[in-house]
Amino acid sequence: MALLLSDGEVIDARSAKENYKLIRRASSREWSPSEVFIHWEWEPLRCAHSDRPIESAYGNPDEHEDETGEDLAQFYGPSARI
What pLDDT band is residue 81 in, cutting at 50, 70 and 90? very low
Structural domain span for residue 33: 2-80
- How far apart CA 18 and CA 68 sit, in angstroms, is 44
Query: CA-based angle 11:54:56, to the nearest 5?
Result: 130
CA distances from 42 to 6, 33, 49, 74 (A): 22, 23, 21, 14
pTM score above 0.85: no
Average pLDDT, the chain: 79
- C-beta neighbour count of 45 within 10 angstroms: 16
Band of the pLDDT at 79, cuts 50, 70, 90? very low
Tally of domains within the chain = 1
Region 25-33: mean pLDDT is: 74
